[in-house]
Amino acid sequence: MTETELRNKVVNVMQGWLGWSEKNGKFKAIIDLYNTQRPLPRGYAVQYDDEWCATTVTAAGMAAGLHDIIFGECSCSKMIELYRAAGRWEENDAYRPEPGDIIMYYWKDGSNYATTDCTAAPNHVGIVEKVAGSTITVIEGNKGEAVARRTLAVNGRYIRGFCLPDYAGKAEEDDDMDQTKFNQMFREAMTAYRKELQDNDCGDYSEAARKWATETGLIAGNGTTINGLPNYMWQDLTTREQLIVVLFRFAQTHGLA
């Protein structure tokens, strides 16, 4: 999958969870999914009465099949540690995120943009859904005890920083195919396609056409037969060279060459 497809994959998971809340009880499925990790981060199973924003981010990565790049944690601070260790932590509040990036918040951030670059422990986390102009839309777990959206400005107040899953690296890994593997897949696909051709003749005229081509010597066979007639690769692919040879033989037969 491409990087964009991978990013959209985790965003789609979060969109599907919108409205899941403590009130309707659906949030429990998110926590239950998180707790299926083996081993559990720091050996801790999240409880239903715990804060569950970081748990939601982790579970979304699991549901999207991207748990190897969306690191598992139920603590915002511990999650930052994981991304920092991997060189995937962006401290600059002015960073313009992309869908699928993880945004961290600090609610006691300064009241004006000149003092927003805090370094305190984060309070909350969500996954960026989209960026339009200077507006970031984020989907978060445990926002008002539900999975819900939030909008804020690029480089706005409360941004603590960004965890950046390596979508590009994952895309390269999935798309990287050596020549041997490609050749094998191509051969298998072509064999299946040629089988389809062999199962589909040209109707009532097919047998008469084969007989005519056989008797006039237009096509050379390979020594096998189909329905009692020489097999001249009737239902197989034809190269340009083979087509020219057939046309040349036809021209010779009619004194045109």
Q: How many domains does the chain have?
A: 2
pLDDT tens digits, one per residue of 154-180:
998 899 999 999 999 998 754 556 777
Do 219 and 137 belong together in one domain?
no
pLDDT mean over 66-92? 96
Do 160 and 184 belong together in one domain?
no
Do 188 and 238 belong together in one domain?
yes
* pTM of this structure: 0.67
Do 12 and 102 belong together in one domain?
yes
pLDDT value of residue 177 = 60
pLDDT value of residue 140 = 98
Do 22 and 122 belong together in one domain?
yes
CATH number, position 161: 3.90.1720
pLDDT value of residue 186 = 82
CA distance 21 to 160: 25
Q: Which of 141, 157, 172 is the last residue of a domain?
A: 172
Q: pLDDT at residue 71 above 50? A: yes
End-to-end CA distance of the chain: 53
Do 204 and 248 belong together in one domain?
yes
CA distance 223 to 242: 17
Q: Which of 172, 196, 226 is the last residue of a domain?
A: 172
Phi, psi of 102, deg, nearest 5:
-110, 125
Specify which residues 128 forms β-bridges with: 138
Do 206 and 154 belong together in one domain?
no
Report which of residues 206 and 79 the model is more confident about. Answer: 79
Do 159 and 102 belong together in one domain?
yes
Domain that holds residue 246: 179-253
Q: Which of 151, 172, 193 is the last residue of a domain?
A: 172
Q: pLDDT at residue 221 above 60? A: no
Of 33, 14, 244, nearest in space to 147 by CA? 14
**Could you tell me if 248 and 239 are in contact, meaning their C-beta atoms sit under 8 angstroms apart?**
no
pLDDT tens digits, one per residue of 98-152:
999 999 999 987 655 445 567 789 999 999 999 999 999 999 999 999 999 999 9
Do 196 and 70 belong together in one domain?
no
Do 164 and 218 belong together in one domain?
no
**Could you tell me if 235 and 200 are in contact, meaning their C-beta atoms sit under 8 angstroms apart?**
yes
Do 111 and 233 belong together in one domain?
no
Specify which residues 90 forms β-bridges with: 162
pLDDT value of residue 226 = 52
For 174-210, b where at least 16 C-beta lie within 10 A, e where not — what string? eeeeeeeeeeeeeeeeeeeeeeeeeeebeeeeebeeb
Do 168 and 188 belong together in one domain?
no
